[in-house]
Amino acid sequence: MGEGKLGSRIAAWPRGAKQLIFVGFDFFALLAVLWLSFSIRLNHVFVPNAGQALLMLAAPAIALPVFVRMGLYRSVLRYLPERAIWTIFKAVTVAVLAWVSLAFLTRMTGLAGVPRSVAVIYWALSLIVIAGSRYGAKRLLWSGRPNPVGAPRTLIYGTGSSAIQLVNALTTSRERNVVGFVSDDASIQGMDLLGLRVFPSPSLETVVGNFGVDEIIVTMPLPAGVSQRELVARFSSLPVRFRILPAVADIAAGKYSVKDIRDIDIDDLLRRSPVPADPQLMRDVVEGKVILVTGAAGSIGSALSRTVAKLQPAALVLMDVNEHGLYEISRDITHDAGFPVIRVLGSITEAGTVRQVLRDHRVETIYHCAAFKHVNMVEANCIEGVRNNVLGTWTLAQAAHELQVMNFILISSDKAVRPANVMGATKRWSELIVRHFGLQDDPAGFERNFASVRFGNVIGSSGSVVPLFREQIDAGGPVTVTHEAMTRYFMSVREAAELIVQATALSKSGDVLVLEMGVPVRIMDLAEDMILLAGRSVRNAENPDGDIEIVIVGPGAGEKLYEELFYDPNGVAPTTHPKILRGPRLNGMPVDVPGTVVSMRERIDARDEAGLRKLLFERD
């Protein structure tokens, strides 16, 4: 019978039967070890007298309860970790000391004693036999079982705790054949870890070729800056698939399994250090409350809706003018929801619809994501951009104020700071509208929280360059970049959604909270990274035979080379969350928000685009 079949047969035995086998083995093994210890010490075959025989029988009788108490029979043999040797060491030591104490007492009563060196020999041999029996059986019965045919040969990049956990999981599941580690730490290169060799990172290409590696799994955060891009380029040049573990916070929380290993995505190259969400902070503002998300079918709105749905609101109202998108996001959420999910097909510019939704469903919190966000599109359609983004925000905020909605959170943009385009200017006026209602005193003393959350680009959102770059790469290029020096702030959509919910709990009415976006990313670098992640090479002067060319097309109307998150960085204050900052309460002189909104409505009705643009870019 092969080792694999024998291991499978034994694994099918009842748990109690396997424990009984080990108890019996330990009893007779310890008895044999003690007899051998006497024989070694006395230098002849030891024949005990009656007293010594009783004392020898006492050794396993003492040891077995100690082993039971310290969990030696609770471990599942095939999953036995290497660190269990410490538990075995302690159990054997305690058992030997207890037996030595008994031997000492027998000498005091006048019975035949035990030479002191016998105890030392007994301890050493017991440790070898008990530990060796566990790991020997594990290796004999389970380690020899073959991996499934076609299991990918995997190389682990990194040697930290995450790498150790991953290798143990992969070894148990046998979904992959791990061939070794790669490490930048010179102190452990060339050594064995979990029975696998640790190779130096400079020999990565050689290891991949010699072992026929199919994939590399990165188990540590990618380095920032140039070294990060060099590493990605190096991986991309190899004929292997390279993948990554989930976030370190998710690993620490026990949220990952072998199936959660994923391909490295552009999110991993944002040079950010995400902070784990505070579950209690998020639950406090969502759990048991009626939440409305406008623009729920959009990239940010849908991510925010999914985040809110996980926090068990009393009801979730999804509103959008996109019929198909609204259907898709509501179907996705309704599948696992234990609360009502209400779909509202309508525009935020329709005052009657907005008031009916707020009144009928008794909405307590609004996340206002609905907006036209594509810079060039809004620039070319100024009137409709202002109608939707500015007048829509006014209609929604005014109704929320009058119907005493507790929380109103506007999803704003870094383009609202010193705006150079219509889209940014509409976001700036949306912030002013929310601040206007947020700072109004309520005659009835009702406390509300009307605030804005401002941040940069979200990877994959409708206004982001990332979807465009993906399409261009899939089509074989070229990838179009507006300017070599252009930079933008980026964050993942999931992180943005979690931070928005947490900002609700940290904001005060009239606030503009700003999400800390890390280091701005050069769009040229982003394009190159995405080409490399797609397994292609960049065609340029240094590499004329590359796959995809990057073409500079020049900035469009209203596009800036860089964006800002604050009007005045000196006025920014921290909150209790390291990634959420509080902007100054006022940016410049107050403006007549209601009067300007009325004027904008008149210009829209008159189709006066020039006059509308003039109002739009008035400085506060």
Give the span between the Cα atoms of 31 and 53, in whole angstroms: 10
- The rounded distance, in Å, linking the Cα atoms of 365 and 286 is 8
pLDDT at 18: 65
Range of the domain at 18: 3-143
pLDDT given for residue 122 in this prediction: 81
User: In sequence order, what are the beta bridge partners of 199?
Assistant: 182
Instruction: For residues 166 and 132, state if they share a domain.
Output: no
Last residue of a domain, one of 108, 143, 178: 143
What's the Cα-to-Cα distance from 30 to each of 63, 415, 488, rounded to whole Å?
8, 75, 69
DSSP 269-325: GS---PPPP-HHHHHHHHTTSEEEEETTTSHHHHHHHHHHHTT--SEEEEEES-HHH
The reply to whether 186 and 231 lie within a common domain is: yes
65 and 162 share a domain? Answer: no
Q: How many distinct structural domains can be found in the chain?
A: 3
Quick one: 198 and 243 in the same domain? Answer: yes
CATH classification at residue 335: 3.40.50.720
Is 388:372 a contact under the CB 8 Å cutoff? yes
93: in domain = yes
Q: Which tokens hold the place of 610?
A: 């020039």
Torsion, Cα of 154, 159, 165, 167 (10° steps): 20
Q: Which of 109, 143, 177 is the last residue of a domain?
A: 143
**CA-CA-CA-CA torsion for 469, 465, 459, 520, nearest 10 degrees?**
110
Query: Which amino acid makes up residue 478?
Result: P
The answer to the question of residue 471 being in a domain is no
Residue partners of 417: CB distance under 8 A and separation at least 6 = 424, 428, 454, 563, 564, 565, 566, 567
**Is there a domain that residue 139 lies in?**
yes
User: Within this chain, do residues 379 and 259 fall inside the same structural domain, yes or no?
Assistant: no
State the residue for tokens 């998300």.
293
For residue 86, being part of any structural domain is answered with yes
Verify that 175 and 33 share a domain, yes or no. no
Of 385, 392, 383, 412, whose CA–CA distance to 347 is shortest?
Answer: 392
138 and 157 housed in the same domain: no
Query: Rounded distance, CA 452 to CA 567, Å?
Result: 15
The DSSP H or E segment spanning 409 is: strand 407-411
Same domain flag for 218 and 237:
yes
Sequence-distant (≥ 6) Cβ neighbours of residue 477 within 8 angstroms: 539, 547, 548, 549, 550
- Given a cut of 50, the residues of the chain with pLDDT beneath it are 1, 3-4, 76, 78-79, 110, 144-145, 225-226, 248-258, 587-589, 620
Residue 241: what are its φ and ψ, rounded to 5°?
Answer: -95, 130
Evaluate whether residue 271 is within a structural domain: no
**pLDDT recorded at residue 609:** 93
Pairing state of beta strands 241-244 and 215-218?
Answer: parallel
Instruction: Please indicate, yes or no, whether residues 175 and 107 belong to a single structural domain of this protein.
Output: no
* 559 assigned to some structural domain: no
Give the CA radius of gyration of the chain: 34
Determine the pLDDT at residue 490: 79
Torsional sign, CA 20, 22, 23, 28 = positive
Report yes or no on 597 lying in a domain: yes
Give the integer Cα–Cα distance in Å for 610 and 603: 9
Same domain, 38 and 75: yes
Report the alpha-carbon distance of residue 363 to residue 357 in Å, rounded: 8
CA distance 116 to 302: 74
Q: 571 and 438, same structural domain?
A: yes
How far is 277 from 424, CA to CA, in rounded Å? Answer: 29
Whether residues 249 and 301 fall in one domain: no
Let me know if residue 527 belongs to a domain.
Answer: no
| Six token digits for residue 104 | 């000492």
